[in-house]
Structure 1
Amino acid sequence: MSLKYLKSIKSFHFEVQQKRFLSVCLKPIKQLVRFEGPDTQKFLQGLTTQNVTLKKPFYTGFLNTSGRVLFDAFCYPESLTNTEVSTPNQKLLIEVEKFRIEEFLKHVKKYKLRYKCNVTAVDPEELSVQVGWEQDAEKVMSDKHSYPSMWDPRFQGPMLSRRVVSSYACSSDVALEEYMAFRYRHGIAEGSMEIAPGSAFPMESNLDWMKGIDFYKGCYLGQELTVRTYHTGVTRKRILPFMIEESSRIADIQTSSKLGLRASSAGRVSSRSPGKVLATQGIYGLAMVRLEYLNQPLMCNGVPIRIMNEIWNEQLQPSDTKTEN
């Protein structure tokens, strides 16, 4: 596929999007959990990969004892403060997948012990999360019906904003699938369908690139393996975005399909498969890709695909391209 053709596709997408509102209410797929009490910050600090702050919203992950991702989440302080300690009534809202809300509550309550922190699911009819991207990002950020907002830190710049809003003010201008396609184009994985709970490692899922890990914070659940991986500098596979080069054959690529080398390839880099498809939406998708295959021409079920490694070009340091002996 020629560079000129790729540019024409991007230009067409941009022209179409400029004529529409690009915001979505995540009420159908996300729900909020409220953490409230004087020990809220201390309690969550021992469970999350990111440093817990009451100063601003942030992105983080919850791991199991083996250092594998259970939940990726966004945290929103209900009342921003400039102090981090001795706050009598700390409140944080955490955004997680709606269908896994009971699983999330069971996980965090298991470690609550004597912490003075009440954990309750928020009624979806009370509060929801609104996201906006490209020309609508500023609109969502300035919504007067909302709680503190954030530029989604997972993206390479201020491309998408998120905000907790009153459910009556939460509305969608486009389908949820467009939010998914926008994420895929920018290499952003989200939720259990893309970050497999209990088996995905945080570095392979790009939590570090998406600013969801603080490698210098104190102890937290699953920290040992995560920090060791960071310091050894060896991550052999990553979630990367791809584009289907033959749009007429989109249906041939399914979730969990294995990637393969094209016939034109000089030969296999190793005996392992280059990776597998995690999700698709239109001509874009996400795949778990072994980094030794980054510069190889790949296909899926006979359909040529292009790994869009330029999205994470700056993050793909030499330490991430080490191969096995």
Structure 2
Amino acid sequence: MPVAHLSDRGVVSVTGADAAGLLQGLVTCDIDHLQPGDASLGALLTPQGKILFDFLVVHAPAGSLPGLDEGGFLFDVAAASAADLAKRLNFYKLRAKVVVADRSGDFAIAVRWSDDGPQLPGLDWTDPRLAALGQRAIAPAAAMAGIADVDANTAHMAAWRAHRIALAVPEGGADYACGEVFPHEADLDQLGGVAFDKGCYVGQEVVSRMHHRGTARTRMVAARLEEAAAVSQGDDIMAGEKRIGDIRARAGAGAIAMVRLDRYADALADNVTPTVGGAPVALTRPTWASFDMAGD
């Protein structure tokens, strides 16, 4: 099941002469360095530095998709958040020569994470977070009908989710809620979603301070569960009587957990095995991450 139409993802377009300048002053990633066809992970934050929306943004030239008459940027975002993202960007645009639109009815997202599947339709790019996440594409919504029927695509989406969770790559809307976490807590700094050498953007002071002072105590990490363990999203991870985190996503034995790293280090020092619902859970730093974590 190497190809899926991600019906839980939407598309927002930002086009016009001032699109790059507007976005460069708003989002965490470096828009100015995106060449046509390039993509980046990024986020729009609250002034307090928490993630309102995370997304993949691709520099899309005029005519790269049917109905895209003006060049600009396309945002691959959680479908439930697409309208709110468009509304928020419109709030910020003021007099800028920019057109912001929720294009989720016109365009759709597909993913291909194996060499075995068919080629993706539309404008495609390598997932900027990890090469192992494969290729993504934005295409006219009608083009997605040829990928799989509804029942087959539901299975493909479940397989894709399991692949993402196995790689311990978190996603907003699925693994954390709007306004809940800082970029460091969702590992955006580890996955190329924060540019620390660009100018100001919304929430930049808080993110920069956390980065340079090394004060991120909470992180999304990889978790391994017993297959038979009755564990669900939101279940607390305990070290004895102390809560050290919770489960954010699960697929089979693989999971993503939000963990207080200092409390986990204390548990290891005390030879206490973390548990969820009484079952043991193994916590590790994702293979692609470089932050310090006890035991790794």
Which amino acid in structure 2 is aligned with residue 154 of structure 1? R
Alignment: residue pair count: 271
Pairwise CA distance, 1:279: 1.8
Unmatched segments (≥5 aa) in structure 2: 63-69
Is 2:102 aligned against 1:121? yes
Residue 38 of structure 1 is matched in structure 2 by 17
Residue 66 of structure 2 is matched in structure 1 by none
Unmatched segments (≥5 aa) in structure 1: 1-20, 81-88, 263-267
Q: Distance in 1 between matches of 2:205 and 2:286?
A: 31
Q: What SS does the corresponding residue of 1:135 show, helix, strand or coil?
A: coil
Q: What SS does the corresponding residue of 1:134 show, helix, strand or coil?
A: coil
Kindly indicate whether the alpha-carbon contact (under 8 Å) linking 2:168 and 2:286 is maintained by their aligned counterparts in 1.
no
Pairwise CA distance, 1:211: 0.6
Give deviations 1:123-178, integer Å, cap 9, x for gaps.
43x321111113348x54xx4x311x2221222x4442111122233224543121
Q: Identity over aligned residues, as a percent?
A: 26
Kindly indicate whether the alpha-carbon contact (under 8 Å) linking 2:2 and 2:156 is maintained by their aligned counterparts in 1.
no
Kindly indicate whether the alpha-carbon contact (under 8 Å) linking 2:247 and 2:255 is maintained by their aligned counterparts in 1.
yes
CA RMSD of aligned residues (A): 2.1
Kindly indicate whether the alpha-carbon contact (under 8 Å) linking 1:69 and 1:195 is maintained by their aligned counterparts in 2.
no
Q: Distance in 2 between matches of 1:63 and 1:123?
A: 22
Alignment counterpart, residue 169 of structure 1, candidates 143, 163, 170: 143
TM-score (structure 2 length as normaliser):
0.84
Q: Distance in 1 between matches of 2:14 and 2:116?
A: 30
Residues 219 and 97 of structure 1: is their aligned pair in 2 closer, same or farther, counting only changes over 3 Å? same
Pairwise CA distance, 1:310: 5.0
Q: What SS does the corresponding residue of 1:47 show, helix, strand or coil?
A: coil
Q: Distance in 2 between matches of 1:42 and 1:136?
A: 40
TM-score (structure 1 length as normaliser):
0.77
- Counting only pairs closer than 5 Å after superposition, residues 1-325 of structure 1 correspond to structure 2 as 21-26=1-6, 28-53=7-32, 54-55=34-35, 56-79=38-61, 90-124=71-105, 126-136=106-116, 140=119, 143=120, 145-147=121-123, 149-155=124-130, 157-170=131-144, 171-172=147-148, 174-245=155-226, 247-249=227-229, 252-261=230-239, 272-292=242-262, 293=264, 295=268, 297-309=273-285, 311-312=287-288, 315-317=290-292
Which amino acid in structure 2 is aligned with residue 243 of structure 1? R
Structure whose alpha-carbon radius of gyration is higher: 1
